[in-house]
Structures are given as C-alpha cells and as structure tokens.
Amino acid sequence: MRQGGVLMEPDTPRRSVDAVERAHLRAPGDRSHVMHRYPPPPGLEPLVQRFWVPVWSVPAGEESVQRVLQYPVSLLVVAHDHARFYGVRTGLSETTLAGDGWAVGVMCTPAAGSLVAGGSMAAFTDRHVDLGEVLESAELVDRVRTAMAGDPLSAAAHEASMAAFADALTPLLPVDAEGELVDRVVALVEGRPDLLRVAQLCEETGLGERALQRLLQRRLGLTPKWLVQRRRLQEAADRLRHDGAPLAETAAVLGYADQAHFVRDFSRVTGTTPGRFAAQHRRPPGPLTG
C-alpha cells in the first residue's frame, strides 16, 4: 500500500524490513523500494541464508540504480519479468529499478550454488543465466508469480513464494562434505575481521594455498584473495556510513598498510572514493529519489 506516495508495509513477526545492510550501497534518501528479508524455514538452512523481497515504485521517466558489493554466494531470483540464477559479481553489482515491480530472491549458502548449478561455479562468475538452465523452474516461476500477482507487499504472498522455492530446492539436500567445508571457510572469513591475508586463512583452515584456491574456484568461482578483500570492503562501507572516523583510522582498522592503498581498493570496486561515499551518507536525506 502507499501513503504520501511512499511504499508502506504492514508489520509481521517473521519479516525484517530493515536498515541498509553493509553490502548494499543504497544512497541516502532513496525511498524507491522497500526490502523484506526472511530467514529460511526449518530444514532449508543448509541451502538458503535468507529470502529477500524488494518491492519498488519509481516515478515515470526516472530510474533508481541499486549498487551492491555482493556476498560470496549465488542468487536465485524470480521477478515479475524474469527468472534467473546469478553467480557472484566480482566487481560492483548494479540493478536499475524503473516503474513498479517486485522480485523474490534467494541468497544461497556458499555450498548451495554448485548444487543448483550441477557443477563448478566458475562458469557463472560475473554472469547470470535463465533459471530454467539450472532448475526445473516452470512450476516454481508460475507459483511465485501467481502468489505475488495480487499484493506484492503481502506477507501471505511472500510466504507462498518462499514455499515454492523450498519445494524446488529441498531435493538438492543433503549438502556434501566439500560444501560443508566451503561454508566453514566463508564463515571464518566473515567472522574474523583480523583475518587479512590468504596465508592466515590457510593456517586457520589447515588447507594448503593450492587446495584452498581449487575449493573456492569450484564452489564459488572466486579466489581466496577476493574473499578476504570483499569482506574488508563491505566493512569499510559500513564504517564510512556510520562512525565518522578519519580515513586513515578506518584504513588502519581494516588492516591496510596506508590510507592510499585503502582509497585505491575502495575506489576501484565501488567507483567512488571513500571520502565521497562518507560525505554522501553524512548529508541529511534528500527527497524521494528515483
């Protein structure tokens, strides 16, 4: 529903309509969409980290570009106009919203991508394919679109859509031993801000560098170095949004040898400098943005 031209949503216990998370470089004042996040149902946790349901309304003739530093996982997305399987975007992921629309997405676990793809995730790095290329998706897509056709903000519609995904993904269980290992590796990187070098990751996991490289290439389509750097950049974006610390201090906390190295890394991936990003997020939010 709408109030004053802004999408609104009723509250529901399982849904999280939350603040911008660290991976999403959402511009301050961007009210083009609402984002609903849900945990997976019991039993599906080995395959699904969470469901996410964006619902957007952008004024005619305008666009809203959403920029994300993607996590090291694949995505399944059914929208009003497409259904896709996404590998990891190693640079900045950009999605342009226009008009009115919705999507129902699955953030997979690190293990799940190659189970969905039926093989190595290296073939899907920086690309997406039609969902039908990796899953028997006709029934899934039809169920999701039927559920969302009435009110895309409805909690009942979201529940029905997630149930459709659960039915499609459950046959992929159980997760194999290698999948469990890659889950542990990613969790280690995500949970250890002090882990700054590939050598540390090898030491902590007991894997040699070549074995670690092969594992991450097969299961994620990524390198160990990328995994460590992406977490640092996501943390950097979160800190620049919220703590107001000098750039030199932020660089040091993130383990960079100097501020210049931090500025180069952040600018190369996001397309803007840390200083500009921080300044943008310290300004008072502007009017509704398209």
For residues 185 and 95, membership in a common domain is answered with: no
For residues 22 and 75, membership in a common domain is answered with: yes
Question: Who's near 259: CB < 8 A, 6+ residues apart?
Answer: 247, 248, 251
Domain end call among 118, 141, 172 = 172
pLDDT tens for 181-202 read: 999 999 999 999 889 899 999 9
Q: Write out the residue range of the structural domain in which residue 51 sits.
A: 2-172
Q: Which of 140, 146, 142, 147 is nearest to 165 (CA)?
A: 140
How would you class 182 by CB atoms within 10 Å of its CB: exposed for 0-12, middle for 13-18, buried for 19 or more?
buried
The CATH number given to whatever domain includes residue 141 is: 2.60.40.1180
For residues 185 and 164, membership in a common domain is answered with: no
Residue 243 has pLDDT above 90, yes or no: no
For residues 13 and 131, membership in a common domain is answered with: yes
Question: Who's near 76: CB < 8 A, 6+ residues apart?
Answer: 84, 85, 86, 105, 106, 108, 116, 131, 135, 165
Let me know if residue 24 belongs to a domain.
yes
The tally of domains found in the chain comes to 2
- Percent of the chain at pLDDT exceeding 70: 90
pLDDT tens for 34-66 read: 999 999 999 999 999 999 999 999 999 999 999
Name the pTM for this structure.
0.88
Let me know if residue 287 belongs to a domain.
no
Residue 94 has pLDDT above 60, yes or no: yes
For residues 24 and 73, membership in a common domain is answered with: yes
Let me know if residue 289 belongs to a domain.
no
- Cβ pair 178, 109 in contact under 8 A: no
For residues 129 and 245, membership in a common domain is answered with: no
Let me know if residue 288 belongs to a domain.
no
Residue 73, both tokens: 């996982």
